[in-house]
Structure 1
Amino acid sequence: MKKDNIKSGNIIDTDVLKRLYKYVKPYQGNFYFLVFLTIAVAVLAPARPYLIQKAIDGPIASGDFNGLVWLMALLVGLLIIQAVVQYGHTYLSGWIGQYIVRDIRLKLYRHLLGLRLKFFDKTPIGRLVTRNVSDVEQLSDVFSQGLAAMIGDALQILVILGMMFAMSWKLTLVSLATLPLLFLSTYIFKEKVKVAFNEVRNAVSNLNSFVQEHVSGMSIVQIFTAEKREYEAFEEINKEHKKANIRSVLYYSIYFPVAEVIQATGIGLLVWYGSKGVINEIETGISLGMLVAFILYIQMFFRPIRLIADRFNTLQMGIVSSSRILNLLDNKEHIPNNGDLQPEKIEGDIKFKNVDFAYNEDETVLRDISFEVKEGETVALVGATGAGKSSVINLLSRFYDIQSGSITINEEDIKNYDLDYLRRNIGVVLQDVFLFSDTIEYNITLGNPDITQEQLQHAAEIVGAKKFIEKLPGGFQYNVMERGATLSVGQRQLISFVRALVYDPKIIVLDEATSSVDTETEELIQSAIEKMMKGRTSIVIAHRLSTIQSADKIIVLDKGEIKETGTHNELLEKDGFYAQLHAMQYKETL
């Protein structure tokens, strides 16, 4: 399994921040109100020490009880206002963050739905899950804990410094004497934690990919008794995650006590110098109230600086996650849907003309493929594994685009058709049936409200699946669990037939539709196939040559090229590729 490797970028990545602001625009009013609340919090908090100074140097020093009551009432009122403003700031920043997360997650998932299958062929699913879940969640911290909190802290520091210098520049310089030590320790802590956080994010991404991949492939793990080896591999990845988290905990456990000591040292210097000033107040101008206010100010000043490293790392990881999300959104591996053709009816005349196709530029899969399927005909594609049979049907539904040549339906290039319309008119039944963890009805309709119960029942009746479905608890509302684990292979295949037929497609494509079922079920499916094909253009891919002997035309593929074309009897008479395949299968049944 390829491991994810995340590196931190520049914390002030203006390009990323500009693009993120686009998602803030729908909530501009709330955002500007949040900015106002941020400024209000920065101004209100430093007002408390000022009022305390006035109380000590004024009413308390002169014994003015009424004046003290008035100042205390003012202080209580200020605290209430600050609490309300702080509540609004915290709630609104989280509200904006969550709405932006919702919008980005929806956009990201919509983007994933439109990507080419080629993209999913080369991208681990666990990594995409991390992008759509963990990374998007990390992004919310940019607004709720990172950017907004840092702006608020910076403003509060500036207001505090302004008030301190206005009171006494000498006390201010003494108070900030230990600040260089705090900046140095904060910088070291920030760099160390940044590395640890990167390692944690790498480990989380790798854990997601590993677990998703191996849970999906659990049958292979157990068949080949690889449980112990896979457990050891998981244990190693989990160990990396644990080490990274412990390192970050270690840095926190060292930094915060050091920061407390530095702050306490600064307060000690302040008290030492300020006490002398209080004693000689007439000469120095330092009062007891001013000293108390400075002690409160220095505590308020050091708190955001102690947290700033954590804020920086939170913001930085949010920017990293944002970059990864935006890079995925920038991926242009979409099948272009530039066509607008939606005729009332597709007749089903299909033509492949000189088609060349490669999944990768240096690996050509189909070479100069040309054939025609007339309306109502059944054409079978046969050949060894890797001959290119499945690639043909992938191209017909435009899951991939060809490098050269043309594919037409009703004399119109398939690129001219609206993509959704094209795929609705091509019913595909794959060999590997995928069912979602939901009801049978949902797995047939995929939540399409336009499909009526009558259509659902009718399609199930034609295929012959209605009888076994109605015997299940709940009938069509029976939950098949993940990948249809509670159904047999044959039952899952029959449901996929109903799913293809319920849209009443004009073209039917069967990709190894009977290769994984028993003989009894195959007979039932063959009967359903005959009913499905009636009046429709059909392309059938089969390893069992006995199932396609009645096809109007059989095309034999080998290494991406057409070797033979004809009916079953014609191809046997040629004594070529098809005859050899037939002889081998007949020999296997003896």
Structure 2
Amino acid sequence: MADDHGGFEAVRENLDGNPMWRLMGYATPYWPRLTAGVLTSFLTRFARLVPPIIVGAAIDRVIRGSGEPGLLTTLGLLPAGTIEGSAARLALLQRLVAIAALAYLIRSITRFASRYLLQSTAQKIQRDLRDDGYDHLQRLSMDFFANHQTGGMMAILNSDINRLESFLNTEFRQFIRVVATVGGISVVLFYYSPKLALIALAPVPFIGVASWLFLSWIEPRYTSIRETVARLNTRLENNLSGAAVIKAFDRYDFERDRVAAQSGAYHDEKVAALRIRRGFFAALRLVTGVVFVVALFVAGSDIIAGRPGALTAGDVAVFFLYLRRLYSPMRRVGKSANRYQLAKSSAERVFGLLAQEPTVTAPDDAHAPEQLDGNVSFESVTFAYDDDPVVRDVSLDVPAGSTVGLAGPTGAGKSTLLKLVPRFHDADEGTVRVDGRDVREYDLQALRDHVAVVEQ
């Protein structure tokens, strides 16, 4: 029975396992494009690591004239030893500029390629999902449409699928960003100072545990929010399509209160989720801020005390430029976890719909005649949409070529009786026959090809 909830609360029961794996399955046909997008995205992130190293080398080798070997020297890109004279410093600066220019060129090209390839792949998956969703929906039996509101179906085909596209478009790139940036920066930080690198990376386990807890707290709330949105959409769709009835019976205040109730429920649930989300992000910022301060104190103390392994001025600049970049994607983990849960809630509805099976099907050995004479008979037929029969114990023979009119008040079952012939519904009791054969023995589409229906 259709209800104010849109009838989609139980659609998730059709699923086994995590629906996000099924979403990833839609990316399989595009794996060459996706692989190229991932590789160029990693190159973009690695190219972004070069400028801070250039700045550090310029401070130590060009400005201060230090002979301290740096990462670029270790990689063989800069000469070792102290740089003497203005001409030598200028030549070194020109080399640094050339390396930086090359890094920015690589970054620009790979950034365009990665974004184009990944975003276009997300668009293709969105298109395939919507096409499959609509095609599957239109092939479901009529009882599905009787038991589910149009507003809920539209929410799945539009907003839920759009949310999945947005997740693929944005969060997949963010995942690459976290892996490449955190991994690359961690390697560089350990090269400069293992002690400071351990301090800088200390929040990582905390962020991992906190993100897991955040997901467990927020998941039921987002599930409830999606259902509330479906109820609100259903209420608005019903009211707007029934505007004439509202006007005729002066139901303005009553219907406004009903919409306000659904809108208020959505507001309350959204605010509750917002409170948890904002608290989580604030905690992440506090933790990363504390670590930044501790790292600054330790690095400064080592330099003042002249301890072995203390950073140079250029190294300090590199370290804290990286530290700032390190915490940005780490804080982004919380937002990605938040959006993942939103996407998972939408995926449950989309793939729950795709897993819905028609209740009216043809048998394996279905009869598929090339033509029918058109003799129709109803034998003690009873049918009910819910618990109360609409058609009760009807027996009727209609010979081929004859014209029969059914008269009765609205809701008497006239249209319903006719819908039993092409098997829009199956009789609960009794038998409907065409040319002496039970309609349930026919191939479904072959039967409907010989039946014309003009809706009232």
Q: TM-score range by the shorter chain?
A: 0.7 to 0.9
Matches within 5 A, 1:448-527: none
The letter for the 2-side match of 1:58 is: R
Give the 3-state SS of the residue equivalent to 1:372 in structure 2: strand
Q: Please name the residue that 2:100 is paired with.
A: 75
Residue 148 to residue 275, structure 1, CA distance change in 2 (3 Å): same
Give the 3-state SS of the residue equivalent to 1:283 in structure 2: coil
CA shift for structure 1 position 169 = 1.0
CA contact (8 A) 1:141 1:315 kept: no
1:2 aligns with 2:4: yes
Q: 2:252 pairs with 223, 227, 244, which one?
A: 227
The letter for the 2-side match of 1:401 is: D
Give the 3-state SS of the residue equivalent to 2:357 in structure 1: coil
CA contact (8 A) 1:97 1:144 kept: yes
1: CA distance, partners of 2:446 / 2:205:
67
Q: 1:35 pairs with 34, 38, 41, which one?
A: 38
Q: Per-residue displacement from partner, 1:326-384 (whole Å, max 9, x unpaired)? A: 111111124324546242x4322223345454445x55555554432212222344556
Q: 1:98 pairs with 107, 123, 141, which one?
A: 123
Q: Root-mean-square deviation (CA), in Å?
A: 3.2
Q: Please name the residue that 1:59 is paired with.
A: 62
Q: Please name the residue that 1:350 is paired with.
A: 376
CA shift for structure 1 position 254 = 5.6
Residue 366 to residue 251, structure 1, CA distance change in 2 (3 Å): closer
CA contact (8 A) 2:160 2:346 kept: yes
Give the 3-state SS of the residue equivalent to 1:425 in structure 2: coil
1:271 aligns with 2:296: yes
Structure 2 unmatched runs, 5+: 66-82, 84-88
Q: Per-residue displacement from partner, 1:125-149 (whole Å, max 9, x unpaired)? A: 1111111111111111331223442
CA contact (8 A) 1:6 1:201 kept: no
Q: Please name the residue that 1:323 is paired with.
A: 348
Q: Please name the residue that 1:18 is paired with.
A: 21
Residue 30 to residue 325, structure 1, CA distance change in 2 (3 Å): same
CA shift for structure 1 position 306 = 1.0
2: CA distance, partners of 1:265 / 1:300:
16
Residue 177 to residue 366, structure 1, CA distance change in 2 (3 Å): closer
Q: Please name the residue that 1:341 is paired with.
A: 368
CA contact (8 A) 1:6 1:198 kept: no
CA shift for structure 1 position 400 = 0.7
The letter for the 2-side match of 1:29 is: P
2: CA distance, partners of 1:236 / 1:130:
19
Give the 3-state SS of the residue equivalent to 1:408 in structure 2: strand
2: CA distance, partners of 1:252 / 1:390:
51
Give the 3-state SS of the residue equivalent to 1:375 in structure 2: coil
Residue 323 to residue 257, structure 1, CA distance change in 2 (3 Å): closer
TM-score by length of 2: 0.81
2: CA distance, partners of 1:19 / 1:143:
13
CA contact (8 A) 1:59 1:67 kept: yes
Matches within 5 A, 1:357-368: 357-360=383-386, 363-366=388-391
CA shift for structure 1 position 227 = 0.3
2: CA distance, partners of 1:232 / 1:94:
42
- Higher mean C-alpha deviation, range 47-56 or range 181-190: 181-190
Q: Per-residue displacement from partner, 1:47-97 (whole Å, max 9, x unpaired)? A: 333333333333333262211221122112212322332333233222111
CA shift for structure 1 position 213 = 0.9
2: CA distance, partners of 1:331 / 1:185:
36
Q: Please name the residue that 1:534 is paired with.
A: none
1:303 aligns with 2:328: yes
CA contact (8 A) 1:263 1:302 kept: yes
1: CA distance, partners of 2:232 / 2:393:
44
Residue 123 to residue 299, structure 1, CA distance change in 2 (3 Å): same
CA shift for structure 1 position 15 = 3.6
2: CA distance, partners of 1:363 / 1:232:
30
CA shift for structure 1 position 2 = 2.7
Q: 2:198 pairs with 173, 176, 190, which one?
A: 173
Q: Please name the residue that 1:44 is paired with.
A: 47
Kindly indicate which of the two structures has a greater share of residues assigned to strand. 1
Structure 1 unmatched runs, 5+: 434-590
1: CA distance, partners of 2:18 / 2:390:
40
The letter for the 2-side match of 1:52 is: V
Higher relative contact order (CA 8 A, sep 6+): 2
1: CA distance, partners of 2:374 / 2:195:
90
Give the 3-state SS of the residue equivalent to 2:46 in structure 1: helix
Q: Please name the residue that 2:448 is paired with.
A: 423
The letter for the 1-side match of 2:355 is: D
Q: Please name the residue that 1:150 is paired with.
A: 175
Residue 296 to residue 194, structure 1, CA distance change in 2 (3 Å): farther
The letter for the 2-side match of 1:164 is: L
The letter for the 2-side match of 1:238 is: S
Q: Please name the residue that 2:159 is paired with.
A: 134
Give the 3-state SS of the residue equivalent to 2:26 in structure 1: helix
Residue 14 to residue 71, structure 1, CA distance change in 2 (3 Å): farther
CA shift for structure 1 position 412 = 4.0
CA contact (8 A) 1:52 1:293 kept: yes
2: CA distance, partners of 1:149 / 1:178:
19
CA contact (8 A) 1:145 1:314 kept: no
Residue 293 to residue 190, structure 1, CA distance change in 2 (3 Å): farther
Q: 1:88 pairs with 110, 113, 124, which one?
A: 113
